Structure 1
Amino acid sequence: MKRDFVIVLVRPRDPNNIGATARAMANFGLSQLRVVDPYEPTWQSAVSAVGAHDILQNAQLCATLPEALDDCTLSLAATALKNRKLDQDIVALPRLPLWLTGQNAGQTALVFGNEKTGLSNADIALCQAVLHIPTTAKQPSVNLAQAVILTCYELARTPIPPAGKTADGPTFAEQERVLAELDALLQAVQIKTDYSAEQRKALLRGLLHKSHLSKNDLFFIKTVAEHARQKIEERPL
């Protein structure tokens, strides 16, 4: 089945990097760009540049990363591995096309952080996998635009076989609705853990990502959790 790619830039600060991203996408046949919470003067400078490509003119501006991932069935966070404790699959860029063949088809987001800090741990936790561009130990990270260029080139250079699974997977938004219902159930039963509310959600999200459940499976889990919560809340005190 068909796989579409979305390039997501999170809080970019340099108009030159934004422009170079759009050119790289055009060079290698990608067209969907989403930009999360850009610095407004930087964004206007990039879009207003002479010869700005249609990709920039048609880019989708998003307030948050979840909004940018809303309709995506798969997402990879591009980051250097130094000083990161990661729980997701780590996919080296040369392996990306092969890795994708084992995943559900649908819309795939490739997520890149800003020039100064990259992606936050919270940003990375929203994605199912981590995309790693191998570099020397002395210089573990690459420039934002360079990372996008290398990724677009690799996808164009190596044809991606049809997806190994026959159906589109659940979207980010669909998984988040299940997560919200499971979290509400845990609150209803007043479960005691050492996790904060955000840590609990992150744990549930990670479990959903690892499970690779179908839409029907997720719908069943959501229905069970919803009915269980309602029964608990209806009990007399």
Structure 2
Amino acid sequence: MRPECLDRIMVVLVRARNSNNIGAAARAMHDFGFRHLRVVSEYLPPLEEARSAVDASEVIAGARVFQSVAEAVSDCTLVVGTTAVGERALEHPLHALAEAGEKILAEAGGSSSRVALLFGSEKTGLSNEELSHCQWLLTIPMYEHEEMRHPSMNLGQAVAVCLYELVRSKESHIDGPTREAARADEVERFLQLFRQVLEETGYIRRFPANSREAQLRQLVLRMGITTEDVPVWMGVMRQMLWKMEQGRK
């Protein structure tokens, strides 16, 4: 895997509380050549206590802390969540790790692309609201033991397995997209204007069950808009809002 592609992949730990798990994730990143660690937490995460991060001090020192997933992935063009699945009802496309790895590498081949790989908390994983920022999900196939209801993997192990899958893949899998996907912050701006249009047209009042922010975000993400599409669609929606305003005069 080319160094520039490694630099386009961000490991995002969401609500991780155990310093040893953060350290293990950082160690895996160091061992496989990844540098960008992002931590989402409402309180200062115990980065300085990440004792298991042997030889990963550079990754820990460069880790960035965010208050929300939206902030952590704002500059990313692809956001992928990880899940153990279990009995959870999913509203996203789900890919096994091998297939997911190829899709991530294809996106990371773009010169202005950034991929966020989200890992949830040790106890609860990613919440539905956190998952709403993802285009799709990946899962690590695991052997299902009869005595275990929901087989899952330790956070540090999960990070290591996912990163190994990425670096073992051949460079021939990396074909940069001809059109760059919209960054997450562009999607959020699009979403807010889209919601304003829905409010002005009365759609939200008439169909509130279909208008939750997480639902609308997923609808926008499924559109697969590119960074070139965003200003065009936002111009269209602004024109719609202007026309409706003129009609009220």
Tell me if TM exceeds 0.5.
Answer: yes
Partners of 2:30 and 2:55 within 8 A in 1 = no
1:66 aligns to 2:77 (yes or no): no
Query: 1:118-129 alignment to 2 at 5 Å?
Result: 118-129=125-136
Taking the TM superposition and a 5 Å limit, the aligned residue runs for 1:159-174 are 159-160=170-171, 161-163=173-175, 165-174=177-186
Q: Which residue of 2 aligns with 1:150?
A: 161
Contact 1:11 1:37 in 2 (8 A): yes
Aligned residue in 2 for 1:86: 90
**Residue aligning to 1:21:** 25
| Aligned residue type for 2:169 | T
Distance 2:55 2:101 in 1: 32
Q: Give per-residue Cα distances to partners, 1:30-65, cap 9 Å, x unaligned.
A: 000000016436334228988651111111111100
Which segments of 5 or more consecutive residues in structure 2 lack a partner in the other structure? Answer: none
Is the partner of 2:198 in helix, strand or coil?
helix
- Residue 188 in 1 paired to residue 187 in 2? no
Structure 1: which amino acid aligns with 2:125? G
Pick the aligned partner of 2:124 from 113, 117, 131.
Answer: 117
Change in Cα spacing, 1:51 to 1:29, as seen in structure 2 (3 Å) is closer
Residue 141 (structure 1) shift = 1.1
Cα separation, partners in 2 of 1:18 and 1:38, compared to 1, 3 Å = farther
**Which amino acid in the other structure matches residue 59 of structure 2?**
I
Deviation at 1:217, TM superposition (A): 2.0
1:215 matched residue in structure 2: 227
Residue 32 of structure 2 contacts residue 163 of structure 2 at CA under 8 Å; is this kept in 1?
Answer: yes
Equivalent in the alignment of 1:132: 139
Sequence identity percentage: 35
Partner SS state of residue 82, structure 1 = coil
**CA distance in structure 1 between the partners assigned to 2:101 and 2:91 by the alignment:** 21
Match of 1:228 in 2: 240
Distance 1:233 1:36, change over 3 A: same
Q: State the Cα distance separating 1:128 from its structure 2 match.
A: 0.5
Cα deviations across residues 88-118 of structure 1 (Å, max 9, x unaligned)?
2212112223233654731111000111111
SS in 1 for 2:12: strand
The secondary structure found in structure 2 opposite 1:141 is coil
Note the residue ranges of structure 1 that are not aligned, 5 or more in a row: none
Indicate the SS of the match to 2:228. Answer: helix
Offset at residue 149 of structure 1 (A): 0.7
Which AA in structure 1 matches 2:231?
F
Structure 1 residues 49 and 220: CA distance shift in structure 2, 3 A? closer
Q: Secondary structure at the match of 1:173?
A: helix
Residue 141 of structure 1 corresponds to 152
- Which of 111, 115, 128 aligns to 1:108? It is 115
How far does residue 202 in structure 1 lie from its aligned partner after superposition? 2.4
Residue type of the alignment partner of 1:215: T
How many equivalent residue pairs?
235
Distance in structure 1 (CA, Å) of the matches to 2:242 and 2:10: 38
In 2, Cα distance between equivalents of 1:210 and 1:190: 23
Deviation per CA, 1:53-86: give whole Å up to 9, x if none: 1111111111100001000000110111112222
Contact kept? 2:24, 2:53, Cα under 8 Å: no
